[in-house]
Structure 1
């Protein structure tokens, strides 16, 4: 990508300032969160051109003059707000922090899911295990225990996961159903959101969700609540158990934001077992956000930052991949990419795969 192919065109003075921002980044993050949490940015935004006095903010938040002033002073340095005389007004960065859905979802995910645990990033890198996960429980990985996470943590995790996948649903459904599959195997179906979207799009399709027992229970309950339990079935499966065969007889196998949850050897194993379950008429559709396929630098930044969540919190050995890594694994599994589509939803790529002819 262009923004990674040459050194950044920035003065030494500005580069030094950026280095200081990194040094104080955890403090900046918490200040921004508190300015949102206490409704300070919202109040300043509502004041419009007239601006907002510190005394007004203090009165509405019931915080001390000290508390409000230290937050606002740092907010000035972060360019979240600006000040004219004694009145505070919202700056552009503060505006997007307040109004941009992606920023809200990312901030809540980082604070509720990642913040405490990322302190253990160094140990996670050395040991190859998600050492930060211990802040929530004594688990090897986060996946079997998603339903046991504290309620706020679980909410932020699913909002983050669904925010990125949901934006892709609209353009994806016509692509997935262009060959009119009658049986879709949703590998790692999570809460069943994709399965329900499929049953809503096509009244004939049947879905089998392959996942761990905890996730399946949630997905099947959601299918029952939507009145499609007769078309959504469960296939209990530990996807990391290499001796466990996958569901057969699928016209289309579906993996959405799924393979990034595994290491390269695990991905290869999953793809090989998927290939063994497919026929020459079957296809495998893989939806992922690859950092090298992002149309904007901000997208690549978010995707690469998400890799650190996998390192410290999720499993210690997976990440958001470069597309070339995934293409290589697909080929090693005996599959080939029949169709490659970028820029779906929020920087997603769809790889439509088929069995290599013998």
Structure 2
């Protein structure tokens, strides 16, 4: 028997476990069930792992501000026996390159970001963009947004392991196993059924199963969770010329890149008009690089005409198909079943605030640090999206 069972030991599940165990007012037991303890195929290990304040919803900005402060002080927060956690955090900045068709939407978002305390600079016109960033071809651009603080990148696998190690040191139990069923009595879930034939009775159950979230919800008799795995490919390239340092650049085409070691990482998410099917494999689609990424990179950064793609990997976004925002908190009818799902590529950077928020609502029934109630399941039932437009 455990007081709280968490399905999924990736960065979200482990963050929730840590914040529960670190709460001096909570003296219950926490058990995390993780089907791949190596994290070989976990998005937590395959993520580009960065954090930004440039979002289009007030709550996501607040989540990032909390997350940045936590990550900057992670050596203290997640130290175990005097051994400070190190996730190789590096301060950096997101640079959004914006064309005329995108301008009005980004102007509205900028006003929101500034009102929420985010520090973002607008660089007006192609001439100013070219002068500020001489390696950029500013043709077709109208403006650019540059984060001035609170942004950067880090080792996502390291963060996942740090949360897990600290949680274990505080008494959280991890089980290597796969959940294949959930027992339910009326309006309450009562136990997990594992592939090895065992069962785990639980007082509360948290769905932190990433791309498998919909399948887990269905085990509890909850249909229609709009979360689906969508494949994303990341490519590492070497370049003959120096790659711009300290920036994660998002081109108006949707292609992103940032320096990594002696080269750079690049990728993209499909546009709204493109096919983006549910996907469970990790195969790399090299045609993405040849047919789309390389041409758009070379157009925006002339030095990238001479690059060499040397490695690549596939990962999954747990996409919320309703609005690209997380689904959090209790189910309105299955009262002890909680969601932490649908992060749509933002889970790594949002994990500190989500871990804190879920721990609060599990133990007190309220969000205390940041009000995350807008992400509740009710919007799924009513089909009312809370749209996040800045999805990379």
Shorter-chain TM-score tier: under 0.3
Question: Which structure has greater strand proportion?
Answer: 2
TM-score, structure 1 as length reference: 0.24
Name the larger-Rg structure. Answer: 1
TM-score, structure 2 as length reference: 0.23
